[in-house]
Structure 1
């Protein structure tokens, strides 16, 4: 049987470990907030959308941008999102809530809280900002479980940023440095500044996005793999029409398709 002294020492030791972990996580949270604040310096430009500025683009690109951006809409440089969804880990789909900041030509930071039963959860962030990517996640906001960075993560997170830029259609304008190439009547390929890969956008006859796809570096295998999203629903906010429900997966467009992310937007604010 444990005596009172042993119990007291054990409790003090546990409190010390918890305190140390808390300090580590507090520092990590501060760094994430600093990164988010860096993106939030991006503000709407003085210019507004002029449909004549895209008249020379490939048909699918022109149709998409005319559908996604109403004439006279201010050229937003940032979007703030909140979302609900499911994330597949192993064979389980786990519910999450998240917020995200995405800025044209800069990057994104996605901050989810994922629940996996018995009152347990993990939270943190996945980000790509000014060429640097990373992942920081902790169990119960205390115990670090994922901390990833380096050249592989930088390139992989750039692929995610490229695909998620569909939430900020102004970032696909030539005025923002985007370069388009036609791939048929319903498809066009776009390259964004400082992102190595291209994004193929598929639209319907009205210009609504049906899917986006790219080649993205898989951080687990080190291989370039097809990666993309199917757009199931859209929403118009302040003159900008964006996906509001989507499914994302590796092996997109192939027999090896593996969906791992489903989300629906709650709120979207442009800046």
Structure 2
């Protein structure tokens, strides 16, 4: 009995050390990725928002910028945020897993890193990096930071998908949607417009639909790649708007894939903290 007890303690200690090592290794990778993201930044011009630059844009787009930005708003250079919510990893039915995440976004050169912990079972987390850096998208998922279960990097289809994510999330850093920041706008109707963004060899477009107040209500891409062979309509919506650093941004959102029978959500999240760095 004494020998069994000693072995049990030994196994528990080894498991604990393995978990700590997995966290350490994952955090080291996160630090390296984010250092590279920041090191690649370029200067941003102009450094402040001038309302004159939206003259000639479609009416709903002008209304949007007048709603979410103040005159002289500093242009966002980087964003650090924290999230919590639920993630559905099952394509056939709703099986939601709680998650927490931090995210670093850089607007020049365009990029982000989403570092999440998705609880698969009590005490068992999937560690996930979803990122876009130097024109390439990547997805790395690992159990406990030790056992890789997915590692996708640099395929054109993945680049397109991750740049679309960056584009959709500009609702949290709306100065990135200005024409001076590389976005072109095309009128659709009095409540929506199509925006297009190019980064290197990748060009993406989103339809932004605005609510009665002028803020972004929904986004939609006609086709976002899920893998190398499958592209599907992809959409999301945002709500719970509040002012942060002079900008009107949403704190909650959800995103999903559009099937013929309807949308299947896979992400429901809330921003719990957000901090900005501005161009100077």
Q: Say yes or no: TM over 0.5.
A: yes
More strand by share: 2
- The 5 A counterparts of 1:62-77 are 62-77=62-77
Tell me, what secondary structure is at the counterpart of 2:203? coil
> Does residue 168 of the first structure (1) align with residue 173 of the second (2)?
yes
Q: Please give the per-residue CA displacement for 1:86-137, whole angstroms capped at 9, x wherever unaligned.
A: 0001241000010111222512110111112222112131101121111122
Aligned partner of 1:180 in structure 2 is 185
Contact 1:84 1:98 survives alignment (8 Å): yes
Tell me, what secondary structure is at the counterpart of 1:40? helix
Per the TM alignment, residue 32 of structure 1 is displaced from its structure 2 partner at its CA by 3.3
Q: Please give the per-residue CA displacement for 1:40-78, whole angstroms capped at 9, x wherever unaligned.
A: 354776622121221211111111111121112111122
CA distance in 1, matches of 2:45, 2:248: 18
Aligned partner of 1:120 in structure 2 is 124
Contact 1:77 1:170 survives alignment (8 Å): no
> Does residue 36 of the first structure (1) align with residue 39 of the second (2)?
no
Question: TM-score normalised to the size of structure 1?
Answer: 0.85
2:98 counterpart (95, 103, 116) = 95
Number of aligned residue pairs: give it: 261
Aligned partner of 1:110 in structure 2 is 114
Contact 1:58 1:188 survives alignment (8 Å): yes
Q: Please give the per-residue CA displacement for 1:186-242, whole angstroms capped at 9, x wherever unaligned.
A: 0011112314220111002321111011121112x7222111111122221001112
Residue 184 to residue 75, structure 1, CA distance change in 2 (3 Å): same
> Does residue 216 of the first structure (1) align with residue 220 of the second (2)?
no
Q: Which runs of 5+ in 2 are unaligned?
A: none
Tell me, what secondary structure is at the counterpart of 2:48? coil
Q: What is the root-mean-square deviation in Å for CA atoms of aligned residues?
A: 3.0
CA distance in 1, matches of 2:198, 2:68: 20
Residue 46 to residue 163, structure 1, CA distance change in 2 (3 Å): closer
CA distance in 2, matches of 1:28, 1:132: 20
CA distance in 2, matches of 1:179, 1:245: 26
CA distance in 2, matches of 1:27, 1:120: 16
Contact 1:125 1:135 survives alignment (8 Å): yes
1:137 counterpart (138, 141, 160) = 141
Tell me, what secondary structure is at the counterpart of 1:141? coil
Aligned partner of 2:265 in structure 1 is 259
Residue 218 to residue 124, structure 1, CA distance change in 2 (3 Å): closer
